[in-house]
């Protein structure tokens, strides 16, 4: 996992050529489509269960039957909402990203590349763009990506609201953290936060003395036996562009990453947390130094006293039950 290690002397630079950027975007689209397939498979199962249950209901139906049917309907609605978010909303927005990639490919075929001026490829693998609200100190994307996004954004400007930069709060948050209960291990499992498609931080089994946590997605759940077993997949493709590695894990090795729609915990200045380092998919220990509307300002361990801004949903509580 050496390729995941963050640079200790400062943020990474974006030296990637256009072709590398296009490949990263393609890999993101492929991963999002795989997630859509898993959601649609489950939605089909739920729909079939609803039809079977309604056909076999007693007259009048029992309270248990009503509760089970209600639970299935709620799950079906939740799956439909997740599907729409992946297709039409940031940070995934598959439909928009396909349009961007098409524009990039068209431009690259029309305008020949100037190989003498191309930049060397950065060997450090950067994170997939899974959250558009991260305000990291890294540089902005290349001109070709920016131009394509501007073109795609112009087509949908009538339906996309303008997002203003978050204003820094004048005073740090001083209340105790709320919303961090039931995000880790068995407690999160009982709270129903580990489901197919859920984003989690996974503790690598080989790193016991100095645990390393990486961002993953739950792709299957084995309910056989006394304890559930989860298969989680690294969303970042390998150096050959192949899908990320799959790991088997118990609930004790997982921490739920909250979605942007759920209440996010408020951490006080000085709180020790586990946070995703900017431009990577790896989590490290850090200390909260300041609080803004959508981000925390953090000081990571062994990082030369540098401070970074990280989206609130990628800042996790290691001490939560």
Instruction: List the chain pLDDT tens, one digit each, 321 residues.
Output: 444 454 444 444 444 456 667 777 788 888 888 888 999 899 999 999 999 888 888 888 888 888 988 999 999 999 999 888 888 887 778 888 888 877 776 766 655 444 433 333 233 334 444 443 333 344 444 444 444 444 444 434 444 343 444 444 443 443 445 555 557 778 888 888 899 999 999 998 775 667 889 999 999 999 888 889 999 999 888 888 888 899 999 998 999 999 888 888 889 999 999 999 998 999 999 999 999 888 999 999 888 888 999 999 999 987 765
DSSP string, 178-219: -S-TT-BHHHHHHTT---TT-EEEEE-TT-SSS--EEEEEEE
**CB of 257 within 8 A of CB of 265?**
no
Take residue 100 and report the two structure tokens written for it. 């961007």
DSSP string, 35-56: HHHHHHHHHHHHHHHHHHHHHT
């Amino acid at each position: 996992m050496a390729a995941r290690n963050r640079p200790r002397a400062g943020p990474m630079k974006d030296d990637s050529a256009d072709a590398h950027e296009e490949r990263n975007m393609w890999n993101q689209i492929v991963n999002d489509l795989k997630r859509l397939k898993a959601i649609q498979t489950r939605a089909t199962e739920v729909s079939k269960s609803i039809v079977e249950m309604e056909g076999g209901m007693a007259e009048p139906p029992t309270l248990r039957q009503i509760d089970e049917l209600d639970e299935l309907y709620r799950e079906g609605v939740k799956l439909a909402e997740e599907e729409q978010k992946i297709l039409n909303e940031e940070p995934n927005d598959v439909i928009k990203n396909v349009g961007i990639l098409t524009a990039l490919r068209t431009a690259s075929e029309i305008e020949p590349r100037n190989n003498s001026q191309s930049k060397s490829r950065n060997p450090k693998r950067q994170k997939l763009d899974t959250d558009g609200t991260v305000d990291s100190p890294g540089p902005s994307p290349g001109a070709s990506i920016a131009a394509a996004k501007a073109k795609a954004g112009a087509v949908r400007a009538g339906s996309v609201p303008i997002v203003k930069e978050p204003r820094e709060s004048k005073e740090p948050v001083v209340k105790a953290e709320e919303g961090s209960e039931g995000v880790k291990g068995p407690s999160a499992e009982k709270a129903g936060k580990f489901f197919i498609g859920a984003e989690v931080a996974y503790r690598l089994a080989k790193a016991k003395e100095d645990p390393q946590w990486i961002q993953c997605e739950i792709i299957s759940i084995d309910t056989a036996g006394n304890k559930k077993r989860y298969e989680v997949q690294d969303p970042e493709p390998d150096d050959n562009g192949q899908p990320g590695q799959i790991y088997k894990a118990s609930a004790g090795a997982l921490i739920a990453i909250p979605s942007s729609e759920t209440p996010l915990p408020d951490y006080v200045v000085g709180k020790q947390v586990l946070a995703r380092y900017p431009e990577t998919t790896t989590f490290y220990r850090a200390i909260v130094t300041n609080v803004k509307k959508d981000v925390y300002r953090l000081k990571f361990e062994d990082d030369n006293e540098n401070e970074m801004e990280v989206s609130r949903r990628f800042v996790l509580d290691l001490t939560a039950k």
